[in-house]
Structure 1
Amino acid sequence: MSDDRRPPRFITPDGMARLRAEYDQLFGVERPKLVDTIAWAADNGDRSENGDYIYGRKRLREIDRRLGYLSKAMKGAKVVDPASQRERDTVRFGATVELADEDDNRRIITLVGEDESDADQGRVSWAAPIARALIGARVGDERIVRLPSGEKSYELMAIRYPEPG
């Protein structure tokens, strides 16, 4: 399947801004400094034992790989603003939800794009099992999530979306 026919990679405006900022930092700041360092190190003679040159080339490859990934991710991204969600009583992309498990342990997560998920910050990819189970749910609904550790039941306690504007 060609890249043009793949489904879009949903991302929030904040997520797109983070990708863009990382791209700009790498391309506009880190990469030029590194190229200067490599050129300086190359002028110092024997490159086979020149740590600055060897490390610089390795780091440059890492940066170029990351820039390629970021460029592809931004090109294929479809920005969806959760604040523009009209149906605020059901869970959709960008929703922040409060869940309670069988033991009434509470958890708050926000459904975001794959490129912006961060479990430590409560941002869960909309393609993750827990997010897929919650899509379309309303407050009071119970959803069973199949996890590697087994099935877990959650009750949806609250749904929030950012305010428009």
Structure 2
Amino acid sequence: MSTNIITEAGHVALKEELDHLWRVKRPDITQKVAWAASLGDRSENADYQYNKKLLREIDRRVRYLRKRLEDVKVVAYSREQEGRIFFGAWVEIENEEGEAMKFRIVGYDEIYGRKDYISIDSPMARALLKKSVDDEAIVRTPTGEVTWWVVGITYEK
């Protein structure tokens, strides 16, 4: 089960995706389905079958986004967060081998298509929550425990 929180930027992105699907993509595909249907035999019409399938996928995503936007709670930046890791933080960490990583802790719906975002529900994020700069975080992984040190914390204001 994912935590039902999202950043302000993530909320805006989901609303924009919903708006684009509903106002631009869906009418375009609906028009193509109507055109393909007017050609006659639908059972052997590849245009009709493909666009009908695409329309079902769009409708499924629209339903999901509408429900999700109702369920999620937008978590805004607060000055009390400064100096510690909380939701929405950009975190820089380093391990014993000198490997460094920088990422932002965000909601489940925001991580797709982004290599620099991790979910608040991930083991890494859970281990880092409430840590400060120079704190040690032990992350449990399938291969064992890994120790990371917090190098930097910033927030988008």
Which residue matches 2:135?
141
5+ long unaligned stretches in structure 2: none
Cα distance in 2 for partners of 1:136, 1:145 equals 14
Give the 3-state SS of the residue equivalent to 2:43 in structure 1.
helix
Which residue matches 1:3?
none
Tell me how many residue pairs correspond in the alignment: 157
Runs of 4+ in 1 over 4 A off after TM superposition: none
- 2:90 aligned with 1:96: yes
Which residue matches 1:115?
109
Deviation of the 1:7 alpha carbon: 8.7
Which residue matches 1:58?
53
Deviation of the 1:89 alpha carbon: 1.2
Change (3 A) 1:123 1:88: same
Kept in 2: contact 1:97–1:109 (CA 8 A): yes
- 2:39 aligned with 1:44: yes
Kept in 2: contact 1:100–1:157 (CA 8 A): yes
Identity of aligned residues (%): 41
Which residue matches 1:152?
146
Kept in 1: contact 2:86–2:130 (CA 8 A): yes
TM-score, normalization by structure 2? 0.93
Aligned equivalent of 1:35, options 22, 27, 30: 30
Aligned equivalent of 1:11, options 6, 14, 39: 6
Deviation of the 1:158 alpha carbon: 1.1
5+ long unaligned stretches in structure 1: 1-5
TM-score, normalization by structure 1? 0.89
Aligned equivalent of 1:20, options 15, 19, 36: 15
State which drifts further: 39-48 or 144-153: 144-153
Deviation of the 1:149 alpha carbon: 3.0
Change (3 A) 1:107 1:11: same
Which residue matches 2:72?
77
Deviation of the 1:102 alpha carbon: 1.3
Aligned equivalent of 2:122, options 128, 140, 149: 128
Residue type at the aligned position of 2:121 = A
Deviation of the 1:8 alpha carbon: 6.1
What is the root-mean-square deviation in Å for CA atoms of aligned residues?
1.7
